[in-house]
């Protein structure tokens, strides 16, 4: 019998800086209810789904910065989301800013969790590839201070046996790096859950702006195909605090083909029935790592007559 998991990619439209957690959680719950109506088993929410994308502002007041972070999960404001998911028997993945303590000091991560149908957290991932910059750069139209506000991951890329398959998670900028998919692919990942908040405008490279959606789709499709797994990429979309976000939420098959996608830039659900057994067609043929992958040769340099030595 095929192992089919029906996934809802729950795109969010803009979240204002003034929006309360309660208001945002109501939107997430609405997604859960629609996903249940459409027969979903798992709902995937974007990166930093509970707040506006706060790294676009330079802040020096630590209390103000920490107001965007969750000190516990679930907490009083997010418990209704877990309760509704448990009632509906739906799993979900959620991105948020996590404030915790390590070795007696505060630690802050860009985090995603995987929650089962019983409302239990069964997986946690903290973002590895933090983009942007650390110090205030006034020349930018908006800031991108993830390096300032977040610590680099201490989890690395892992997978979890859940929903009758092998699932992994990554966040936003992680999707641009082939190692992200490959590390999870080497662990047998059959589906990767990926939330992001990506502005259309790239201040250091504005010539990339009209390629933003293309690059988004390119890296996710390549990651899916080259590792024989499903990729569920879910956006925060629309014009958020005068910063247009790219959207482009989609569910990608192990073939690299997009099988479901959102059409607009608001709250919208893209749904696909994902056959996890379809991964085998790629994992046992073209991308059979055990048979065809040759990492022991990757560092070899073949000397050619007349060729310049490497720098």
Q: Is residue 288 part of a domain?
A: yes
Q: Cα separation of 41 and 234, whole Å? A: 16
Q: Which of 40, 170, 172, 229 is catalytic?
A: 172
Which helix (DSSP H) or strand (DSSP E) does residue 34 occupy? helix 21-37
Q: At what angle do helices 212-227 and 178-185 cross, to 10 degrees?
A: 20
| pLDDT at residue 147 greater than cutoff 70 | yes
Quote the pLDDT of residue 101: 96
Catalytic residue list contains 47: yes
Catalytic residue among 127, 190, 279, 283: 127
Q: Please tell me the distance from the alpha carbon of residue 84 to that of residue 81, in angstroms, as a whole number.
A: 5
Is 306 inside a domain boundary?
A: no
Residue 105: its pLDDT value, please?
Answer: 96
Higher pLDDT, 235 or 310: 235
% residues pLDDT > 70 (the chain): 96
Q: Are the CB atoms for 115 and 86 separated by under 8 Å?
A: no
The answer to whether position 303 is within a domain reads: no
pLDDT greater than 90 at residue 308: no
* Within a domain: 311: no
pLDDT interval class at 272 (50, 70, 90): very high
The pLDDT of residue 309: 53
236 is catalytic: no
Asked if 31 contacts 234 with a C-beta cutoff of 8 angstroms, the reply is no
**pLDDT tens column, 82-98:** 999 999 999 999 999 99
Task: Report whether pLDDT(34) > 90.
Answer: yes
* pLDDT over 90 at 4, yes or no: yes
Domain of 102, CATH number, reads 3.60.110.10
Number of domains the chain is built from:
1
Residues 6 or more apart from 162 whose CB is under 8 A from it? 91, 114, 116, 122, 123
Strands (E), the chain: 4-11, 42-44, 91-102, 105-115, 121-126, 159-162, 165-171, 191-197, 230-240, 243-246, 250-252, 258-261, 268-275
Structure pTM?
Answer: 0.95
Phi, psi of 172 (to 5 degrees): 45, -105
The confidence band for 2, taking pLDDT boundaries of 50, 70 and 90, is confident
Mean pLDDT of the chain: 96
Domain that holds residue 181: 4-297
Would 72 be classed as within a structural domain? Answer: yes
Separation between Cα atoms, residue 259 and residue 303, nearest integer Å: 45
pLDDT tens, residue by residue, 163-187: 999 999 999 999 999 999 999 999 9
Phi then psi for residue 79, to 5 deg, are -55, -40
Structure confidence at residue 310 as a pLDDT band (50, 70, 90): low
One of 47, 84, 190, 268 is an active-site residue; which one? 47
- Do residues 126 and 95 make contact, with C-beta atoms less than 8 angstroms apart? no
* Position 248 in a domain: yes
Quick: pLDDT tens for 97-134: 999 999 999 999 999 999 999 999 999 999 999 999 99
Domain annotation covers residue 203: yes
Whether 286 maps to a domain, the answer reads yes
Q: Which value, in Å, is the radius of gyration of the alpha carbons in the chain?
A: 20
Q: Does the annotation count 172 as an active-site position?
A: yes
Contact 119, 83 (CB under 8 A): yes
Whether the per-residue pLDDT at 305 is higher than 60: the answer is no
Question: Mind listing the pLDDT tens digit for each residue in 186-243?
Answer: 999 999 999 999 999 999 999 999 999 999 999 999 999 999 999 999 999 999 999 9
């Amino acid at each position: 019998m095929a192992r089919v998991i029906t996934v809802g990619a729950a795109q969010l439209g803009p979240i204002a800086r003034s929006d309360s957690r309660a208001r945002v959680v109501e939107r997430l719950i609405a997604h859960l209810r629609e996903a249940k109506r459409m027969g979903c088993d798992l709902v995937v929410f974007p990166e930093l789904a509970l707040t506006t994308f706060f790294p676009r502002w330079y802040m020096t007041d630590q209390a103000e910065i920490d107001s965007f972070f969750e000190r516990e999960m679930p907490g009083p404001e997010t418990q209704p989301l877990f309760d509704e998911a448990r009632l509906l028997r739906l799993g979900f993945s959620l991105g948020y800013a996590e404030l915790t303590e390590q070795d007696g000091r505060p630690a802050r991560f860009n985090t995603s969790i995987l929650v089962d149908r019983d409302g239990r957290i069964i997986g946690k991932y903290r973002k590895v590839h933090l983009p942007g910059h650390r110090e205030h750069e006034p020349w930018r139209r908006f800031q991108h201070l993830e390096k300032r506000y977040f610590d680099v991951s201490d989890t690395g890329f892992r997978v979890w046996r859940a929903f009758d398959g092998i699932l992994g998670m990554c966040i936003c900028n992680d999707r641009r790096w082939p190692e992200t998919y490959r590390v999870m692919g080497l662990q047998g990942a059959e589906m990767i859950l990926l939330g992001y908040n990506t502005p259309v405008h790239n201040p250091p490279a504005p010539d990339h702006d009209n390629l933003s959606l293309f690059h988004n789709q390119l890296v996710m499709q390549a990651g899916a195909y080259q590792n024989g797994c499903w990729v569920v990429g879910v956006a925060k979309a629309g014009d958020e605090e005068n910063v247009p976000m790219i959207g482009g939420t989609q569910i990608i098959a192990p073939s690299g083909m997009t099988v479901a996608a959102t059409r607009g830039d608001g709250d919208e659900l893209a749904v696909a029935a994902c056959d996890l057994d379809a991964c085998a067609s790629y994992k046992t043929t073209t991308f059979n790592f055990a048979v065809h992958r040759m990492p022991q040769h990757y560092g070899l340099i073949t000397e050619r007559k007349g060729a310049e030595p490497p720098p």
